[in-house]
Amino acid sequence: MLHASPQIDLRTIRSHPDYWYPVAWSHELRAGKVIGTRYAGIPVALARPQNGGRVFALEDRCAHRQVPLSQGILQGDAVRCCYHGWAYDRFGRCHNIPYLGKCHHHVRVFPCREQNGMIFIFPGDASKADATPLSPELAQTANPAYKTRFFGSTIRCHYSFMHENLMDMNHQCMHFKQVGQMKPRFLGQKREPGVVEARYSFARIGGKQPLGEAIIFGERRDTSERFQNRDIMTIRTEYPYQTLRIQTGDNCLVMDLWIAYVPQSADELTNRTFGLLSIKRPKIPFLLDLAWPILIAFTNRIFAEDCEIVELEQKAWRDLGGDHNVEIFPVINTLRDLLRECGIPPDHHYA
Ligand code: FES
Ligand SMILES: [Fe+2]
């Protein structure tokens, strides 16, 4: 692990590539197709062979003249470039050139896995891929007792703003219109290598519980004493992923959110968010299916508010030429240290 000095502006730290990053939803890549995606300025072509062949990932630049391979087609198990027809197998090797014959050129290959509706690549040192676990659990996507929403978008900010936003529950006033008046109580933090965890409870001090929230908790809650500070929210950054879990007083996990923020541009000042939001099904399971559109609208509104504010933070960073944050909340400072330590400083050249 590299130890960047705390003076280094966090928004100039690059994500560490020796992790598995989602780069597409499974449903975006149909059998027999190639699509283009990216990680931190590196263009990536994903291909899914016909007949159930495993997805593979190549650098999205033809070895001949660097045009995107994702503009080409999949022929059998090979990606054929649209320009002069050089074809690459899943190991990135071009065996022969249509108009010349034998060829020893190749393109870079990324270790690639598909799991829980997402396609992941390992953009760093490929020899470390097998020994690197894909992620902590991917919400409850595989658990039939939960219904999972897949969501996300491209957000114009450094991934560190996203981590801070989710872990910082002191911004409830921004969501006032959506959730009413909620008072968080910070219960403590945990710091382990590569991990920061914050725990909160909540008290409703005004406003009515929105229907979307009642769907998540599986019951109606009001401002009465018995609901105050009863539910525990645990937010955890386990580099480079983040989770948010809500447990009700009876120790039941009612919501399990998993998110990854994948840098898009080379300066890493944009990210594509991949989120999995699992909600526990109530006793009458189909009720959640009926209420799903309400839940989606509710969570969308909150997500939109968060996206807007982090983009404004990034804009201020650009306008002011750096980070002028006066952060005083200890867990956020702990989180910033973690993101600095786990990432790559701007002057460091990662081979
Ligand atoms: S640019 Fe790809 S084959 Fe020529
Ligand atoms: Fe928020």
Q: Does residue 4 carry a pLDDT above 60? A: no
Q: Is the CB of 33 under 6 A from ligand 1?
A: no
> Per-residue pLDDT averaged across 108-134, rounded?
97
In three-state form (DSSP H/G/I as H, E/B as E, the rest C), the secondary structure along 222-277 is CCCHHHCCCCEEEEEEECCEEEEEEECCCCCEEEEEEEEEEECCCCCCCEEEEEEE
Predicted confidence (pLDDT) per residue in 303-316, tens digit = 999 999 999 999 99
Q: At what angle do helices 330-342 and 159-167 cross, to 10 degrees?
A: 150
Pocket test for ligand 1, best of 83, 96, 99, 106 (most atoms within 8 A of CB): 83
pLDDT value of position 212:
80
The crossing angle, in degrees rounded to 10, of helices 286-320 and 159-167 is 120
User: Is pLDDT at 236 greater than 90 in this prediction?
Assistant: yes
Residues 71/68/272/116 CA torsion (nearest 10 deg): 60
58, 59, 67, 75: residue to mutate for ligand 1 pocket, most atoms within 8 A of CB: 67
pLDDT for 98 equals 81
pLDDT band at 57 (very low <50, low <70, confident <90, very high): very high
Tell me what pLDDT residue 148 has: 96
Name the segment(s) of the chain with CATH classification 2.102.10.10: 31-111
Q: In the chain, which segments carry CATH 3.90.380.10?
A: 146-342
Average of pLDDT values for 47-54? 93
| Binding site membership of 65 for ligand 1 (Cβ less than 6 Å) | yes
| pLDDT level of residue 348 (50, 70, 90 thresholds) | confident
CA of 152 from ligand 2 middle (Å) equals: 14
**Digit-coded pLDDT (tens) for 260-305:** 999 999 999 999 999 999 999 988 878 899 999 999 999 999 999 9
Tell me if 132 sits within 8 A of 110, measured CB to CB: no
pLDDT-derived band at 95, boundaries 50, 70, 90: confident
Tens of pLDDT along 31-48?
999 999 999 999 999 999
Q: Using the structure block, give the residue that is written with the tokens 């200890």.
A: 330
Query: pLDDT band for position 231 (50/70/90)?
Result: confident
How would residue 351 be classed by pLDDT, with cut points 50, 70 and 90? low
* CATH H superfamily, domain 31-111: Rieske [2Fe-2S] iron-sulphur domain (2.102.10.10)
Distance, first Cα to last Cα, the chain: 14
Mean pLDDT score across all residues of the chain: 92
How many C-beta atoms surround the C-beta of residue 348 within 10 A? 11
Residue with more model confidence, 94 or 228: 94
Top-level CATH class of 146-342? alpha beta
User: Which protein residue has the closest C-alpha to ligand 1 atom 3?
Assistant: 84
Does residue 16 have a pLDDT over 80? yes
pLDDT confidence of 176, banded at 50, 70, 90?
A: confident
pLDDT value at 6 more than 70: no
- Note the ligand closest to the C-alpha atom of 96: 1
With a pLDDT cut of 90, the percent of the chain lying above it is: 75
Contacts of 300-306 with C-beta under 8 Å, sequence gap 24+, read 300/151, 301/178, 302/175, 302/178, 302/179, 303/151, 303/275, 305/174, 305/175, 305/178, 306/165, 306/166
- What's the confidence (pLDDT) of residue 5? 54
Residues 227 and 317: their CA atoms lie apart, in Å, by 40
Q: From the alpha carbon of 66, which atom of ligand 1 is closest?
A: 1
